[in-house]
Amino acid sequence: MTEEEITHKAYTNGRVFIVRPFNIKTNRKDETIDFDKVDNELISPCIEALGLSGGTTGEFVQQGNIREDMFRELLAADLVIADISIHNANVFYELGIRHALRDRCTILIKADQHTDPGIFDLSTDRYMSYDLDNPSNSIDKLTDVVTSTLQSEGKDSPVFKLLPGLTNMDPDKVVIVPLKFREEVDQFTHDKNKDGLTSLRDNLVIGQPWERQGLRMIGNAQYELADFDQAIKTWEAIRNHNMFDTQANQRLATCYQKVGELVKSEHAAERALEGESDWDRAKTHALIGSNLKTRWILSWKEITDLNERQKSALKSPLLQQAYESYYSGFEQHRSHYYSGLNAVAMLSIQLELAKLQPETWTLDYASEAKSNLELEEKTLVLNKMINATELAIETSINNYNDTWAKISKADLMLLTCNNAEKVKHEYSKYLNVVPDFNKESLRRQIGLYKDLRLFDENIAGLDQII
C-alpha cells in the first residue's frame, strides 16, 4: 500500500455520529417530517460518498446500552451531524454534550420549510438548510459542508468559543482497543518486528471504531523502534483526523527531524503549540529547540579545523535561539526536566566556547567589559538553571521512579561535576535498562561535545559503556 493510499484511507474512514429524530415526527404546526427519509436520501449517501462510517443512537437502542455507547460516540466521533429541524429534546441533549466535549467538527442541518422556529441558544449558530421535499437535491451541498468542516481549523462549538479556557476531552480515554490487537503490537515491539507493525497498521486498523487509538499504539511502537519513515506515515494518518492533534504533531516534529525534513518538523511543532496544557507546550518548545539545535550543528559540522569550528559554533545565532526555546519550555512547566537539562547544556556550551574563543565572544559587544559582564550574568542564570533542573529531575525520580530521569541526572553531572569517575559510575547504573533509541540520543550528545572538544575529562571512557 502506498503512502497516498494510507493517508486517503485514514481520512475517508473517519467516524461520524448522526444526531436526529427518528421515524415520522410532527412539529409545532402539526406538519409531519420523515426523518428516516432524510437520513436515507441525504445524510447516509453523503457520508458513504466520502468514505466515512458511523451511525445513530438508533443502533444502540437495539443493543440495549444506549447511554454508554451514545456518550462514547459523541466524544470520539470525528464528525457529528445534528438535525435541528424540530424541537426534539433528545437531539438538543446530545448536541449539548458534543458541544461541551469537543471544540470542532459539529455540523447543524435544518429543513428549509415546515420546521419549528429556531432555538434561542442556537440562534447565532450557522446551519445548513436542506430541501425537505427532495432531500437528495442537497447531497452535494452537504458534501461540501462536511469536507470543509473536516479541513477547518476553526472552532464551531459555542461552548469553547465563549469559554476559551476549556480543554477538549480525550477520546482515547473512552475507546477500548481489543486485547488481541494490543498483544500483537506488544509482541511485534518486543521482537523489533518493524514489518509486522506496518502490516498490522495497513490491514487491521483502518476503518475500525478504535482506528485512531490503534494507530497511536503502532505509531508509538514505530517511534520506539526508530522506524521513522513508517512512524511518519502512521502519525500523519492520525493527524488527518485532527490537524491539531498534540501528540501526533509532537511525534511528527521529532520524526521529520530524524529524517532531515526540518521545515516539516517546524510546522508540526508550531501546530503542537496549540496544545492545551502547560506540559504539552513545554514539550513543544523543547521540540522547537531540538530543531534549532540540529540546524546549529549543521552550520559548523563540516568545518575540519577545530579552532574555526569552535568559532563558527559560537558565532551562530542558532546556539542562543536553541537555548531560549529550551528555556521557554522549562518556563512553561518546571517539572519538564528535559527542557531544563537541554537549556543547561546549550548555555554551558555557549559559556565554554566563550572561554575558549574570547575574541569571537567579544565581537557582539561594544567593549570587553560589557562582554565580561554578559558572561557573568549568563553564569548566574546557568547556576539557577542547574539547581532548578536538578530539583525537577530528583522529583521525577522520587515520585515516578523515572529511568530516563536517572540518566538525565548523569547528563547533568557530566556538565557540572569535576569527578570523571563519578560521572561514569552514574551512567553505568542505568544504561542497561535504557531503550536503544535513548542510547542513540545520548551518543549523539556526547559526539557533539567531542566535535567541539568540550568536557573532555567527563566524556572520556563513556564510549565503553554506552
Quick: pLDDT tens for 165-181: 777 777 767 777 889 99
Q: Which of 261, 276, 291 is the last residue of a domain?
A: 276
**Strand 128-130 to strand 106-111: parallel, antiparallel, or no bridges (unpaired)?**
parallel
For 8, counting Cβ atoms within 10 Å of its Cβ (0-12 exposed, 13-18 middle, 19+ buried), the class is: middle
Where in the sequence is the domain holding 13, given as residue range(s)? 3-166
User: Does residue 335 belong to any structural domain of this protein?
Assistant: yes
> What's 96's domain CATH number?
3.40.50.450
The pLDDT confidence band at residue 319, using thresholds 50, 70 and 90, is: very high
Do 323 and 432 share a structural domain?
Answer: yes
Kindly list the strands in the beta sheet with 15-19, ordered across the sheet, starting from the edge strand earlier in the chain.
53-56, 15-19, 79-83, 106-111, 128-130
pTM here is 0.65
Indicate whether 13 pLDDT > 60.
no
Are residues 131 and 229 both part of a single domain? no
Same domain, 247 and 318: no
Mean pLDDT of 153-160: 85
Rounded-to-integer distance, Cα 389 and Cα 384, Å: 9
Give me the helices (H) in 240-316, please: 246-258, 262-272, 278-300, 306-315
Give the domain-ending residue among 220, 249, 276. Answer: 276
Between the alpha carbon of residue 291 and those of residues 256, 259, 270, 344, the distances in Å are 10, 12, 12, 17
Cβ-contact 195, 406 below 8 angstroms: no
| Other beta carbons less than 10 A from residue 292's beta carbon | 24
Q: Evaluate whether residue 409 is within a structural domain.
A: yes
Confirm if 100 and 160 have CB atoms less than 8 A apart: no
Are 333 and 386 in a shared domain?
Answer: yes
Closest CA to 445 of 404, 411, 409: 411
Same domain as 461, residue 432: yes
Convert 415-454 to b/e letters by CB count within 10 Å (16 or more is b).
bbbeebeebbebbeebbeebeeeeeeebeebbebbebbeb
Domain membership of residue 135 (yes or no) is yes
Residues 303 and 406 in one domain: yes
Give the count of domains, the chain. Answer: 3
Tally the residues of the chain. Answer: 466
* Residue 27 pLDDT: 73
Say yes or no: 326 and 404 in one domain: yes
CA distance 106 to 17: 10
Residue 141: half-sphere exposure toward Cβ, Cα within 13 Å: 14
**Which pLDDT score, from 0 to 100, does residue 173 have?**
72
Q: Indicate whether 366 belongs to any domain.
A: yes
Same domain for 283 and 298, yes or no, is yes
Within a domain: residue 171? no
- In this structure, the answer to whether residues 374 and 389 fall within a common structural domain is yes
Measured CA distances, 438 to 56, 70, 191, 258, 426 (Å): 45, 42, 18, 13, 16
Percentage of the chain exceeding pLDDT 90: 54
Tell which residue, 135, 93, 89, 90, has the closest CA to residue 110: 135
Whether the pLDDT of residue 241 is over 80: the answer is: no
Domain stops at, among 166, 192, 226: 166
Is residue 433 within 8 A of residue 410, CB to CB? The reply is no
Indicate whether 432 and 460 sit together in one domain: yes
- Residue 361 falls inside a structural domain: yes
Same domain, yes or no: 57 and 134: yes
End-to-end CA distance of the chain: 38
Arithmetic mean of pLDDT over the chain:
86
Q: pLDDT by residue (tens digit) across 344-358?
A: 999 999 999 999 999
Pick 415 or 51 by higher pLDDT.
415
